[in-house]
Amino acid sequence: MARSNMALRGALQSLRARPVGIPQQRLFGASARCAANDKQSQQQSFKSQLYESTQQRLKRERAEQERFAQYQTQSPGGRYAAMMFALVFFSTGAYYLGSLKPAALPTSSTTTLADLDAPKHNVSPSNLQAAWSDFVEILGKENVSTAPGDLDSHAGSDWSSYSHKADEKPFLILYPSTTEEVSKIMKICHQRVIPVTPYSGGTSLEGHFATTRGGVCIDFRRMDPGFGMGGPERGIGERRSLLPPDPGPGAMIGGMVGTGCSGTNAYRYGTMREWVLSLTVVLADGTVIKTRQRPRKSSAGYDLTRLFIGSEGTLGLVTEATLKLTVKPKSQNVAVASFPSIHNAAECVTHVVEAGIPVAGVEILDDVQMKCINASQSTSRQWKESPTIFFKFTGTPAAVKEQISMVQKIVSNASGKSFEFARGEEEMQELWSARKQALWSVMAMRRGPEDHVWTTDVAVPMSRLPDIIEATKADMTKSGLLAGICGHVGDGNFHAIILFNDGEKKIAEGVVHRMVKRAVEMEGTVTGEHGVGLVKRDYLPHELGETTVDAMRRLKLAYDPLRLLNCDKVVRIEQPAPSEVKEW
């Protein structure tokens, strides 16, 4: 205060000492007196303003001193609380202001695993229980299940090559019946950051519907894409139309789209990708899109239809599918040929393909598969226990007869031991039945509940088919495991079905690993039709290259930025543990 008073006195003294300038001009007497009075008045006004300004400054200083003195008298706890309040206040303000500016978009074209943090899902019991009430409001209580049996059946299967862990179960199962209901479900899951696993027929083999992150499972059985092959066949049978893809029993349309399946007719008719015209898809945030209209061909924009086929539910959930059909053939027949070795059988297939014979299907079963079929008594007849090829012929009666004759000659030249073709509908069904029983016949050979079945596939160029089948067969025999070979070899695709228990799992893993590695080294693919799922995802970089997989990951993040849809399938969404990835 003393310092402030001294400053005031100094300012006044300076004012008194300052000379007042007088203009050098003539003034009349009255005007001079008025001017003198005005200057005196201005001096007095300036002095009063200076006094007032100084008083205001002194008051502010006095108030600041009082506040500081009050702060000094506060307890340390009080001062800490005040500091924390100020810190939180200003931090919140800074965060809000920062959130007003959108995050910078990525500048690269791909996303590596190193670019990603772990996904932040909310699978807390309180969040999932709150979501349960939302789901019940949408679907009705009867279509929202938490029954233990339902949770177990949707966690895995006996024929899957992925053994799910005990804690890998969904919190609940949802059964929607319309696209709108699926959209509402996804909006809730997106808002609450709940992971979602789609489920169709449950026949997938590579861990496609394992619930690795908890959350909810959406079962499409109440929707048309959940229909099995029998459903569409009943609807189109009267028009003599055919949907050619022919996967294993139990497959559903939605799952067939999700995995891009093929089946026994693939050699003649191609895979599911060739028979889907358009899809209705629910995206991760609940947005509904339709990929295209109905014409058989279109050049309108990106081909989103094929993007979603084979994406295994990682980019969106398919709720409607518009499919192409073909005319059912007027005539068909089946023939069976046996061979002394698996290499001879595979060579015969190569010769049939090179000859351009338009057979509808070419399937192979090795001697182990034929023994399992006999032992399990899964068909009505006994078979030669040697490598066997099953041929399916379609077309006009004359064309079918010609195809049989041509194939019979090739079988004979390829060291074939026998050739038998059906002479009626019943015999045709009997001959083809063995191919359809391949998986189930091996499962029937299980020694006890501790045994598991590993079913996997690869595909190679036709010229390499005999070599890879022969090498894989030798590896299986050396392993000592019960393991057979079957598959749609007309397009270079074959399967291995391996029986093992927990103590033999490492041996089975080695057989599969070497089989996949051979396929890649022969310029083939790690999966011809089963899909990637969980089991094959770490092989993709070896087949396609790291940058290609990084581009796939960018697509995943573009459609599903919160990483909610069928987590961990096809491409990884966070860094693996060191022991998770096998050495190549």
Domain with 173 in it: what CATH number? 3.30.465.10
Shared domain check, 342 and 244? no
Measured N-to-C along each axis, helices 465-479 and 342-354 cross at an angle, to the nearest 10 degrees, of 160
pLDDT in tens, 168-186: 999 999 999 999 999 999 9
Average pLDDT, the chain: 86
* Residue 265 within any structural domain of the chain: yes
The arithmetic mean of pLDDT across residues 473-493, rounded, is 95
Given this model, what pLDDT does residue 89 score? 67
Helical residues (DSSP H) of 389-461, grouped into ranges: 397-413, 425-436, 438-443
Residues 387 and 270 in one domain: no
Distance of alpha carbon 534 from alpha carbon 161, whole angstroms: 9
The DSSP H or E segment spanning 391 is: strand 388-395
Band of pLDDT at residue 501, cut at 50, 70 and 90? very high
Q: How confident is the model at residue 439 (pLDDT cuts 50, 70, 90)?
A: confident
Query: Looking at the structure, do residues 410 and 435 belong to the same domain, yes or no?
Result: yes
Mean pLDDT, residues 372-400:
94
* Same-domain status, 284 and 360: no
CATH code for the domain of 454: 3.40.462.10
pLDDT at 434: 87
pLDDT at 435: 85
Clarify whether residues 369 and 316 are in a common domain.
no
Instruction: Identify whether residues 299 and 386 lie together within a single domain.
Output: no
Is the predicted pLDDT of residue 372 greater than 60, yes or no? Answer: yes
Q: The sheet that has 388-395: what strands, in order across it?
A: 418-421, 331-338, 388-395, 361-365, 482-487, 493-500, 452-459
| Domain assignment present for 93 | no
Which residue, 327, 342, 375, sits at the end of a domain? 327
For residues 304-313, b (16+ Cβ closer than 10 Å) or e, as one string? bbebbbbbbb
pLDDT at 250: 84
**Does residue 436 sit in the same domain as residue 472?**
yes
Domain-located, residue 528: yes
- Say if residue 497 is in the same domain as residue 369: yes
CA neighbor of 119 nearest in space, from 556, 546, 580: 556
**Mean pLDDT across the stretch 413-421?**
94
Question: Does residue 381 share a domain with residue 310?
Answer: no
In a domain? residue 242? yes
Report the predicted TM-score, pTM, of the whole model to 2 decimal places.
0.80
- Least confident range of 61-65, 258-262, 391-395: 61-65
Whether residues 385 and 317 fall in one domain: no
Residue 379 lies in a domain: yes
Domain presence at residue 323: yes
User: Would the pLDDT of 276 be above 70?
Assistant: yes
Tens-digit pLDDT profile for residues 40-70: 555 555 556 555 666 665 676 566 556 545 5
Asked whether the beta carbons of 387 and 434 are under 8 A apart, the reply is no
The answer to whether residue 62 is domain-embedded is: no
Q: For 46, phi and psi rounded to 5 degrees? A: -65, -40
Among 517, 535, 553, the domain boundary falls at: 535
Q: How many domains does the chain have?
A: 2
Burial (0-12, 13-18, 19+ Cβ within 10 Å), 175: buried
Confidence of residue 28 (pLDDT cuts 50, 70, 90): very low
Residues 286 and 218 in one domain: yes
pLDDT for position 351: 95
Contact (CB, 8 A) for 190 and 284: yes
In a domain, 195, yes or no: yes
Q: What is the pLDDT of residue 431?
A: 87
Q: Which domain holds residue 222?
A: 125-327
* pLDDT at site 5: 45
pLDDT of residue 227: 58
Q: Shortest CA distance to 538 belongs to which of 559, 516, 508?
A: 516
101-120 burial, b if ≥16 CB within 10 A, otherwise e?
eeeeeeeeebbeeeeeeebe
Q: Would you say residue 271 has pLDDT above 70?
A: yes
Q: Does residue 32 have a pLDDT over 50?
A: no
More confident call, 162 vs 196: 196
Q: What is the pLDDT of residue 579?
A: 83
Q: Which of 511, 535, 559 is the last residue of a domain?
A: 535
Residue 18 has pLDDT above 50, yes or no: no
Looking at the fold, whether 299 and 336 belong to one and the same domain comes out as no
